Amino acid sequence: MGGDTGTAVTMKTLAERLGVSVTTISNAYSKPDRLSTELREQILAEAKLAGYCGPNAAGRALRSGRNDVCGFLFGGELAEAFADPYTVAFLAGLSESVERFGASVLLLRAPHEGEETEAQLLQRAAIDAIVTCSPTSDHPGMQAVAARGVRVVGAQNSDSGDWVTINDTKAGRLVGKHLDRLGHRRIAVIVPGHVPEGEVVELPADGSTCSRFAAERIRGLREKLPDATITVVSAGWKPKQAGRLAAAHVLDAQDRPTAVVAMSDALALGVWDAARERGLTPGRDLSIVGFDDIPDAGFVGLTTVRQPITDKGRLAGRLAMDPDYPQRQITLPIQLVVRSSTGPAPKN
Amino acid sequence: MGGDTGTAVTMKTLAERLGVSVTTISNAYSKPDRLSTELREQILAEAKLAGYCGPNAAGRALRSGRNDVCGFLFGGELAEAFADPYTVAFLAGLSESVERFGASVLLLRAPHEGEETEAQLLQRAAIDAIVTCSPTSDHPGMQAVAARGVRVVGAQNSDSGDWVTINDTKAGRLVGKHLDRLGHRRIAVIVPGHVPEGEVVELPADGSTCSRFAAERIRGLREKLPDATITVVSAGWKPKQAGRLAAAHVLDAQDRPTAVVAMSDALALGVWDAARERGLTPGRDLSIVGFDDIPDAGFVGLTTVRQPITDKGRLAGRLAMDPDYPQRQITLPIQLVVRSSTGPAPKN
DNA sequence: ATCGTTGACTTTATCGATCAACACGGAGGT
DNA sequence: ACCTCCGTGTTGATCGATAAAGTCAACGAT
């Protein structure tokens, strides 16, 4: 079979063999309507016979200027990305819409400081656009993207550029209002990041050192809970563990909060564990609120602010692949979903 | 800032500007030891100033012949891939090792029949190698990979080519022996695939129509359970749902099996649901066995055959990225993990 | 004084495909 | 009979970078 000499078959060799021009071969693959059906069929058949594997991707990309690839930048190890339901749902939407544009998704990890290899990976990736889906836009090394020179779509608020996100201040207000009505006055907020694994840190209660999305949510929260005591804690990037650790910190403190607001459901589930370990029943002894509404939230009965994660991914993909899409900054609707994890503040 | 005219900055323009050759610029980025440190620094600085974003990926790929990308081919919708713990664990290992080779992972979906777009996506992808991680190697359209002309690494047994997998016959024997000792004589086997979502089909009990890995496991099972009645059922690709549906089918039949062997833990968890719905306690009224040992298996107490999934991904990545790695066909160790989901066959 | 080496760049020739512009033969209008 | 248009293909330039081979000065060894 495959009667060639062993060297790679290229359009040129195939063209010589068939006595047609290279362009015609190219058209046979990429623009079927530019040549007669018979000729196309013949070319395709001969190509298979000669062992030609179709147009070389790099050549095509170079000349055409398109890679048909959308980068997905995750601010952590990729293994974690897959373990996080939020990210998974986002990726599902993203890949669906990217696929619709005839492109695929390339997984990239945001380089941390000093990680030369990862930075180069990002640098070298043949992509047309990049979608960032990190909990925070100021994740260490996330700036490296800017230097890349491709279209960037963020999944979080920022002043400029393309993004698709939710109104975080409003999200915070929704939670604040809910907790206020229930009478909560001592509240802990758990945010992702800030410290290496295993450590816990208490942050300024105004959210000034937090990433933007967290700061805005905290702002909304405070608006509706003007006379509440709010503590902000962080315990690293790995959500479940961080949630558990941070919650442990605040629950073992002097004036234990009556409600914990976690910046994601994944974090909230960690809080859940910590509560359980201390014999506290969520919704009765301790109110827990999350954000996102991942499937597990419904399963355990977590009160949360729902956002259309998969749609977010879909839209991010569209913005990334279609530079002409008019609306470049999209705010998606949110909704407070009250479940059993919140209840009246215990009388103390 | 960025003092150029607006046209893209390329190595050529940068070279002219600096009065050095293009190659020198190239070397400044790719082979730091081939030019003096000062010149390199100067070039890099000037590059930033000029708004040059580093070597163009397509150009590099074309000339060098390497893309530094490893394709990951999943036999289903990508959203499912992320939902499946097995795949997630595999991807974690894969991306870790691929990254070590300075490459990234490109997500691809195996084209089903008639899916032109997806087939072209696979065709056009700029990849150096591809790792397939489908439950079966005969997944519809999986053959399209062969035509791609790149190195293929399978995560399942096949006669030729590169692969990393487990000894499926042995895995089957482990389960067979275990069930035999417990006295089970009516056994249902649930395999993935075969029918569209929502349908259930009963297959030849010798596994002859099953995908290879399933056939081998069934063979091992039969070896150790020579006088048992074995039924083989399938209910599509989506594991949890398929498991539940297939289990429903066999559990509602006349001579209900005393044990169900599912070809993956994800399937087994579906079986679990079906059992529960019928008031059957796993391990007492119905024995359930899975394969893989995903985290949830330990959580619910599922007896399963453990395989090192993440290592599998890691090794697949290595085979994919390193053509000189000597061992091209790797069999990983497995181990029966007995938990509470199996017990003596009920007396009837 | 000659030669072989090394370091630091440069020159030249592609890599494989696509695009823009042009050529050519026949159909259709005037 | 002449001109235009259309369906089909062709030619030549070009995308941006890298490999391989070449140049040239400086230097130590013989």
Instruction: Encode pLDDT of B23-66 as tens digits.
Output: 999 999 999 888 999 999 999 999 999 999 999 999 999 999 99
Round and report the angstrom distance from CA (A63) to C1' (C18): 6
Please indicate whether, in this complex, the C-beta atoms of A102 and B79 are within 8 angstroms of each other: no
Asked if the model's pLDDT at residue A3 lies above 50, the reply is no
Indicate the Cα dihedral angle A60, A65, A68, A73, nearest 10°: 130
Instruction: Encode pLDDT of B283-305 as tens digits.
Output: 999 999 999 999 999 999 999 99
Among A110, A169, A178, CA closest to A144: A110
Q: Does B3 touch chain A (CB under 8 A)?
A: no
Q: Letter for the amino acid at B6?
A: G
Q: Are A269 and A241 in contact (CB under 8 A)?
A: no
Rounded to a whole number, what is the distance in angstroms from the first to the last CA of chain A? 82
Mean pLDDT across the stretch A19-40?
91
Average pLDDT value over all residues in chain A: 90
Tokens 């089957």 -> residue: B172
Mean pLDDT across the stretch B174-200?
93
> Out of A54, A57, A107, whose CB is closest to B104?
A107
Q: Are A197 and A239 in contact (CB under 8 A)?
A: no
Q: Are A95 and A103 in contact (CB under 8 A)?
A: no
Q: Does B39 touch chain A (CB under 8 A)?
A: no
Q: Are A148 and A89 in contact (CB under 8 A)?
A: no
Per-residue confidence band for A173, with pLDDT thresholds at 50, 70 and 90: very high
Asked if the model's pLDDT at residue A1 lies above 60, the reply is no
Lookup: tokens for A87: 């990210």
Tokens 């509560």 -> residue: A275
Q: Does A56 touch chain B (CB under 8 A)?
A: yes
DSSP run (H or E) holding B130: strand B129-132
Round and report the angstrom distance from CA (A20) to C1' (C29): 33
Per-residue confidence band for A315, with pLDDT thresholds at 50, 70 and 90: very high
Closest residue of B to A59, CA-based? B62
Segments in chain A forming alpha helices (H): 11-18, 22-30, 37-50, 57-64, 78-83, 85-100, 116-124, 168-181, 212-224, 239-251, 265-277, 295-300, 309-321
Q: Letter for the amino acid at B208?
A: S
Q: Letter for the amino acid at A209?
A: T
Tokens 């298979």 -> residue: A48
Judge if the beta carbon of B21 is closer than 7 A to nucleic acid strand D.
no
A 61-100 near B (Cβ less than 8 A):
61-62, 67-69, 77-79, 82-83, 87-88, 91-92, 95-96, 99
Judge if the beta carbon of A6 is closer than 7 A to nucleic acid strand D.
no
The count of CB pairs under 8 A between chains A and B is 139
Q: What are the residues facing A232 on neighbouring strands?
A: A189, A203
pLDDT for the residue B75: 82
CA B338, CA B223: separation in Å to the nearest integer?
20
Instruction: Spell out where B170-223 has E strands.
Output: 186-191, 201-203
CA distances for B209 relative to B35, B205, B214, B216, angstroms? 62, 9, 9, 11
Q: How far is CA B168 from the centre of its chain?
A: 16
Asked if the model's pLDDT at residue A115 lies above 90, the reply is no
Three-state DSSP class for B165? Answer: strand
Per-residue confidence band for B115, with pLDDT thresholds at 50, 70 and 90: confident
Mean pLDDT across the stretch A52-70?
94
Asked if the model's pLDDT at residue B152 lies above 60, the reply is yes
Per-residue confidence band for A211, with pLDDT thresholds at 50, 70 and 90: confident
Mean pLDDT across the stretch A258-262?
98
Q: Does A125 touch chain B (CB under 8 A)?
A: yes
Round and report the angstrom distance from CA (B69) to C1' (C30): 61
pLDDT for the residue A138: 62
> Out of B60, B91, B102, whose CB is closest to A121?
B102
Per-residue confidence band for B196, with pLDDT thresholds at 50, 70 and 90: confident
Closest residue of A to B85, CA-based? A83
- Candidates A64, A96, A124: best to mutate against B (most CBs of B within 10 A) is A124
Question: Phi and psi for A179 in degrees, rounded to 5?
Answer: -70, -35
Task: Specify burial of residue B226 (Cβ count, 10 A radius: 0-12, 13-18, 19+).
Answer: exposed
Tokens 């564990």 -> residue: A273
CA A226, CA A95: separation in Å to the nearest integer?
42
Count CB-CB contacts under 10 A for residue A224: 17
Q: Does A147 touch chain B (CB under 8 A)?
A: yes
Mean pLDDT across the stretch A201-227?
93
B 193-222 near A (Cβ less than 8 A):
none
> Out of B58, B88, B121, whose CB is closest to A67?
B58
> Out of B88, B92, B126, whose CB is closest to A57?
B126
Listing DSSP states for A306-334 in one string gives: E--HHHHHHHHHHHHH-TT-S--EEEE--
Per-residue confidence band for A2, with pLDDT thresholds at 50, 70 and 90: very low
CA A55, CA B169: separation in Å to the nearest integer?
41
Indicate the Cα dihedral angle A144, A145, A149, A154, nearest 10°: -150
Instruction: Encode pLDDT of B312-331 as tens digits.
Output: 999 999 999 999 999 999 99
Among B225, B283, B281, B275, CA closest to B249: B275
For residue B57, which residues of chain A lie inside 8 Å, CB to CB? 61, 67, 124-127
Q: Which strand D bases fall within 7 angstroms of a protein CB? A: 7-12, 14-20
Q: What are the residues facing A330 on neighbouring strands?
A: A164
CA distance B344 to chain A (A): 32
CA B249, CA B234: separation in Å to the nearest integer?
10
Per-residue confidence band for B83, with pLDDT thresholds at 50, 70 and 90: confident
Q: Does B143 touch chain A (CB under 8 A)?
A: no
Q: Are B210 and B156 in contact (CB under 8 A)?
A: no
pLDDT for the residue B187: 97
Round and report the angstrom distance from CA (B36) to C1' (C8): 7
pLDDT for the residue B139: 62
Per-residue confidence band for B5, with pLDDT thresholds at 50, 70 and 90: very low
pLDDT for the residue B58: 95
Q: What are the residues facing A186 on neighbouring strands?
A: A229
Longest dimension (CA), chain B: 89
Three-state DSSP class for B123? Answer: helix
Please indicate whether, in this complex, the C-beta atoms of A104 and B107 are within 8 angstroms of each other: yes
Q: Are B263 and B220 in contact (CB under 8 A)?
A: no
CA distances for B187 relative to A46, A178, B260, B306, angstroms? 51, 53, 6, 20
Question: Phi and psi for B166 in degrees, rounded to 5?
Answer: -115, 170
Q: What are the residues facing A164 on neighbouring strands?
A: A330
> In the complex, which nucleotide's C1' lies nearest to the CA atom of residue B53?
D16
pTM of the predicted model, to two decimals? 0.92
Round and report the angstrom distance from CA (A8) to C1' (C25): 36
Q: Are B312 and B132 in contact (CB under 8 A)?
A: no
Lookup: tokens for A186: 């001592």
Judge if the beta carbon of A23 is closer than 7 A to nucleic acid strand D.
yes
> In the complex, which nucleotide's C1' lies nearest to the CA atom of residue A53?
C16
